[in-house]
Amino acid sequence: MTTEQIAAHINPWEVAQHQFDLAADKLNLDPGLRRVLRQPRRELTVHFPVKMDDGSVQVFTGHRVQHNLGRGPSKGGIRYHQDVTLDEVKALAMWMTWKCAVVGIPFGGGKGGVVVDPKKLSSKELEALTRRFATEIEVLIGPERDIPAPDVNTNAQVMAWMMDTYSMHAGHTVPGVVTGKPISLGGSEGRNEATARGTVFCIVHAARELGLDLSDTTIAIQGFGNAGSIAARLISEEGATVVAVSDSTGGIHNPEGLDIARVVAWKKEHGTVQGFPGATDVSNSAVLEVNCDILIPAALENQITSRNAARIRARVVAEAANGPTTPDADQELYRRGVFMIPDILCNAGGVTVSYFEWVQDLNRDHWSEEVVNEKLREIMTRAFAETLAMAKREECDMRTAAYLLAVQRVADATSIRGLYP
Ligand code: GLU
């Protein structure tokens, strides 16, 4: 079986619930509270028509899930991918709840997805699909209720269409309904780089903790979208050597290092990183197993599993993706002393700057990139330090530690609010 086939066989919702159960056990969580937090609050599935360029009408399926609203409006991205399922969106929504709690921003968790390969749509079709999906989920979203953002295969343009659609129906401009917008529409400086920047902050702290000199480390990155490609650039700026990267079409490897600016230009021209001069083409899954000090999975779920965990050679795994490592693989890596920076901490920079964007929108304010990056650095530094302290105190891995912090925070908020009615 290929990594893709293995990944497709593991249900991310079961993984997410299992991770929650481990934390709930360790926290001795009240059984009633456990039952509440173990399920999403709301799940919406919509089937909606889109007029295609050839005049035909196609029906697409999409989901919006709100896992938890205890600490604030639900927050989380919308992805466009042919493999989206309701269970995947539920898992991603639950992970958003913990992510927002780990970094201490006042949101619950949500997520959305449409089953579509957007690379097969024209720009006009993509806009029509986005506007209709935004309309379908309008029963749930809103600046005080549930705030979407970009995720896999969605971007600032898609957010602009969503914001415009919502605003047209409201009869006035509502910038705070989505984040990750273009700067000209109330988007935040630094939001586009935020996920990668947060990941790199975490890596800097992990390297310090492990006594690694970043200018002497090698990096492999699976995924060359918003998180992966920008992490490649930022980590190179820290002096590290990126030796392998991949995108959905495959990967490239050069033990001497890749010039990231040139790889970005190559991908723009050829639509793939493969064929990059001076590098060897390798498979997407082989990128995980190359000789490197730090591995950054920045693509999809279930990439590091019990099948390949023993072959991971990195000392640090920094999860820029959501859910890239299965619980079996987690155990194996921990046993081997691999330092894991878990997704709910490692990629929380994105939603943190989304929070800044929402605050700026509600206040009709605009902060400089320096201010945004400094506030992001403060939040990521504190969250990393709190997670590390918890891992040391509880003698556990960093994922368990992050879950202990997050689940406790959400549980506290839920129980102090009390049960209605
Ligand atoms: N999609 C991103 C994530 O998985 C960002 C979500 C947001 O900014 O709301 O964290």
DSSP for 354-417, please give it.
HHHHHHHHHTT----HHHHHHHHHHHHHHHHHHHHHHHHHHT--HHHHHHHHHHHHHHHHHHHH
Distance 250 CA to ligand 1 centre (A): 25
What pLDDT was estimated at residue 310? 97
Confidence of residue 302 (pLDDT cuts 50, 70, 90): very high
Residue type, 372: V
**Residue 5's pLDDT band (cuts 50, 70, 90):** confident
Q: Cα angle vertex 66, ends 60, 67, to 5°?
A: 130
Q: Which atom of ligand 1 is nearest to the CA of 107?
A: 9
Question: Helix 86-103 crosses helix 348-362 at what angle (to 10 degrees)?
Answer: 70
Contact 303, 321 (CB under 8 A): yes
The overall average pLDDT reported for the chain is: 97
Task: With a cut of 90, say whether residue 3 has pLDDT above it.
Answer: no
- Residue 26 to residue 18: CA distance in whole angstroms: 13
Q: What is the pLDDT, as a whole number, of residue 8?
A: 79
Give per-residue pLDDT as tens, 66-75.
Answer: 999 999 999 9
- Long-range CB contact pairs, 233-241, < 8 A, 24+: 233/196, 233/260, 233/261, 233/264, 234/193, 234/196, 234/197, 234/200, 235/200, 235/203, 235/294, 235/296, 236/260, 238/200, 238/203, 238/204, 238/214, 239/214, 239/215, 240/214, 240/215, 240/294, 241/217
Residue of 75, 99, 111, 181 marked active site: 111
Instruction: Check pocket membership of 154 for ligand 1, CB cut-off 6 A.
Output: no
**Residue 104: pLDDT over 90:** yes
- pLDDT above 70 as % of the chain: 100
As given in the structure block, the two tokens for residue 104 are 């201490």
Query: What secondary structure does DSSP assign to 17-86, as a single string?
Result: HHHHHHHHHHHT--HHHHHHHTS-SEEEEEEEEEE-TTS-EEEEEEEEEEEE-TTSSEE--EEEETT--H
Rounded percentage of the chain residues whose pLDDT exceeds 90: 98
Is 2's pLDDT higher than 80? no
Pick left, alpha or beta for residue 250 (phi over 0 → left; psi -120 to 50 → alpha; otherwise beta): left
For residues 199-204, give the mean pLDDT.
98
Question: What is the C-alpha separation between 324 and 19, in angstroms, rounded?
Answer: 13
Each domain of the chain, given as residue ranges in start order, spans 10-185
For 182, the token pair is 């273009």
- pLDDT for 255 equals 98
Closest ligand 1 atom to Cα of 150: 1
- What is the structure's pLDDT at 129? 98
pLDDT for the residue 46: 98
The upper half-sphere exposure of residue 299, i.e. CA atoms within 13 Å in the direction of its Cβ, equals: 23
What's the average model confidence in pLDDT over 386-412? 98
Domain 10-185 is found in CATH 3.40.50.10860: yes
User: Does any ligand 1 atom lie closer than 6 A to the CB of residue 246?
Assistant: no
Q: Determine whether 111 is an active site residue.
A: yes
- What kind and span of H or E run contains 227? helix 226-237
Does the C-beta of 113 come closer than 6 Å to ligand 1?
Answer: no
pLDDT in tens, 164-188: 999 999 999 999 999 999 999 999 9
How high is the pLDDT of residue 370? 98
Rounded to the nearest angstrom, the distance between the alpha carbon of 76 and the centre of ligand 1 is 5
Give the number of other CB atoms < 10 A from CB of residue 42.
15
Position 147 pLDDT exceeds 80: yes
Amino acid at 290: V
The answer to whether residue 228 scores a pLDDT higher than 80 is yes
- The residues near 27 (Cβ < 8 Å, ≥ 6 apart) are 404, 407, 408, 411
230 lines ligand 1 (CB under 6 A): no
Q: Is 81 in the pocket of ligand 1 (CB under 6 A)?
A: no
